[in-house]
Every structure is written in C-alpha cells, then in structure tokens.
Amino acid sequence: MSSSLPRHSLATRTIHGSLALAVMIQLGSSLVMRHAYGDRPGNIFFPIHEYAGMIAFALALVFWLTVIARRIGTAPGALVPWFSAARRRALIADVQSYLQAARRFSLPAHDEGGAFPSAIHGLGLLLISYMALSGTVYYIMSLFGLGRAPVVHLLMELHGLFGNVVWAYLIAHAALALLHHVTRNLPLNVMWSLKS
C-alpha cells in the first residue's frame, strides 16, 4: 500500500484471521460430525464443532468490540449502514456502480471506503454472530434438558439453513479477495499480516 498507515489495525487483522480459521473448522466439522441419537453413538467431530463454535462466539464478540473501539479501519456505520439514510443512499449508489461494471463484465476499482463491500462484510459478521450465538444457546439449553424446546428447535433449524449461506459467503468473499490480489487492487497482506 502506498499509505504509511496500515488499512486495518493489528487487532482487526488478528481477530479476522482467528475468526476465519474458526469458521473453517466449523464448516469442515459440520461435514463429518455425528450427533449421538438413541443407540447410535456420536463422533469426536460433534464436540469439536460445539467447542470451536463457542470459541467462534467469543471471537465474534471481540470482533464487534474491536470495530467499535478501533481508530483505524472501516467505520462501524459502514459495516451496518441500514439505520442511516445517508449511508443507505451511498449504498444504493455503490450497488449501481457495481451493476454498471457487471454489464461490462468487469469490477469497479477497489474503493477503500466502498459502501457495498463494507455492508456485505457487516452482513457476513452478523451471519457468523447468529450461527455462533444460536449454537451456544442450544448448548446451554441442552445442559438443562431444553435442547428440544420449540424456540431452540427454531433457532437450530435456522442454524442449519444459514450454514449454507456461510459456505456461500466464505467462498465468494475469499474468491473476491484472491481476485483483488491477482489484479493488484488489494494485496492479501492488507488483511492477512501480523506485522504491527
């Protein structure tokens, strides 16, 4: 980057990498885990999914706190633009520039303060927060024998459904990050570096 200031603080980069790793463990374990049911035994990947998921919950909380407390990086309002008329207008204008570029089979140049990518990043973080929170609620309620209560059942139905969206988010987000890297718009080490 040309600027001497890093685009993302060390705290943001560390928490982003840790959360991304935790989400990959969650998606990987979800493919092979087996829940004990009646006489059918479970397997080791189920507790791995539960404990790594609760670590992901703590990491998602720390990510939100970092976003609120940091002085370098995307403004919290850019990640969650839905409650500000000015930010919603900026988002619509940015989406239109993406649509125009898509008609030419191209991408707009990477914009550091881009309203659309920031809003998508915020939705991704909200999605992961929901996954981790719903799983943690299920775990705690199960300790009290309430793992099958209707509200917990609904939370976990959505957990299963949104699991597919997490796959789509991870694949699309990582693919765009790689595309920006190879087109030299945004090198990967802007986010994936532990330099202070």
Tell me which residues touch ligand HEM (CB under 6 A).
7-8, 12, 16, 19-20, 23, 26-27, 30, 35, 49-50, 53-54, 56-57, 67, 73-74, 117, 121, 124-125, 128, 131-132, 135-136, 138-139, 156, 159-160, 163, 166, 170, 173-174, 177, 186, 188, 190-191
Please give the backbone phi and psi of residue 139, each rounded to the nearest 5 degrees, phi first.
Answer: -65, -45
Q: Which is nearer to ligand HEM, 57 or 81 (CB)?
A: 57
Q: Which is nearer to ligand HEM, 91 or 103 (CB)?
A: 91
In angstroms, what is the minimal distance from the CB of 116 to ligand HEM? 11
Nearest partner of 188 among 66, 19, 16, 5, judged by Cα:
16
Question: Cα separation of 8 and 72, whole Å?
Answer: 6
Angle ∠(191,53,42) on CA atoms, nearest 5: 140
In angstroms, what is the minimal distance from the CB of 156 to ligand HEM? 5
Q: Which is nearer to ligand HEM, 46 or 88 (CB)?
A: 46
The Cβ of residue 9 has, within 10 Å, a number of other Cβ atoms equal to 17
Q: Which is nearer to ligand HEM, 102 or 188 (CB)?
A: 188
Burial pattern 40-60, b for ≥16 Cβ within 10 A else e, equals: eeeeebbebbbebbbbbbebb
Nearest partner of 79 among 89, 93, 69, 91, judged by Cα:
91
In angstroms, what is the minimal distance from the CB of 149 to ligand HEM? 14
The Cβ of residue 174 has, within 10 Å, a number of other Cβ atoms equal to 13
Residue nearest to ligand HEM (CB): 135
* Secondary structure (H, E, C), 18-47: HHHHHHHHHHHHHHHCCCCECCECCCCHHH
In angstroms, what is the minimal distance from the CB of 102 to ligand HEM? 19
Q: Which is nearer to ligand HEM, 36 or 93 (CB)?
A: 36
In angstroms, what is the minimal distance from the CB of 117 to ligand HEM? 6
CB of 42 closer than 8 Å to CB of 34: yes
Q: Which is nearer to ligand HEM, 100 or 113 (CB)?
A: 113
In angstroms, what is the minimal distance from the CB of 23 to ligand HEM? 4
